Amino acid sequence: MAKRVLIVAGDAVEAQELFYPYWRLKEEGFEVHVAAPTKKVLMTVVHDFEPGWETYTEKPGYRFVWVDKEFKEVKPEDYDGLVIPGGRAPEYIRLNEDLERIVRHFMEKRKPLAAICHGPLVLTGYKLIEPGMNVTSYAAVAPDLKAHGADWQDKEVVICRGHIVTARAWPDLPYWMREFIRILKEK
């Protein structure tokens, strides 16, 4: 039986950080489900870096039509791994109590968990970042992680406690998924 991976997302999720793991994990043979606050077509965004801008720009992305279930329907014990993409979605999906239940399960059971870019904001929202944890994220999220005591590192991928895989942003997608898939296969 194939291992099952859950991706959690919402509107304004970074397009590449949702589509890439979705297709890559399927290509590897995992069963992949996507959950969101409501079962709907997600409106993704593209964060890009434009000359002259001091921060990223945001443009509308592709519609993501493969949302399988709402957060409230998810039984986290049915999944072997969790992916939290970035974009602006983590800012508001972390307010969802059902998502907290899901994320806490993965942290408490030490199941593989991958978060990229703004995705670690979900972990800070539930006070799951502890002093001394090695993590990375988009640079603008670093102060939030450091405020929770994390050892933020400016690296393409950082593995913490053998099951948490974090990455900075979409340019690091191959490194992030390579390590997450490796850990999924080992568990």
Q: Which of 47, 118, 148, 163 is catalytic?
A: 118
User: What is the per-residue pLDDT for 12?
Assistant: 98
Separation CA 182–CA 145 (nearest Å):
25
pLDDT of 53: 95
Q: How many CB atoms lie within 10 A of CB 5?
A: 25
Pairing of the two strands 42-48 and 57-64: antiparallel
Residue 118 annotated to the active site = yes
pLDDT in tens, the chain (187 residues): 799 999 999 999 999 999 999 999 999 999 999 999 999 999 999 999 899 999 999 999 999 999 999 999 999 999 999 999 999 999 999 999 999 999 999 999 999 999 999 999 999 999 999 999 999 999 999 999 999 999 999 999 999 999 999 999 999 999 999 999 999 999 8
Domains of the chain and CATH, by start: 4-186 (3.40.50.880)
Q: Is 42 exposed, middle or buried (0-12, 13-18, 19+ CB in 10 A)?
A: buried
User: CA angle at residue 66 from 63 to 71, to 5 degrees?
Assistant: 105
Q: HSE (CB half, 13 Å, CA atoms) of 51?
A: 0
The pLDDT assigned to 51 comes to 96
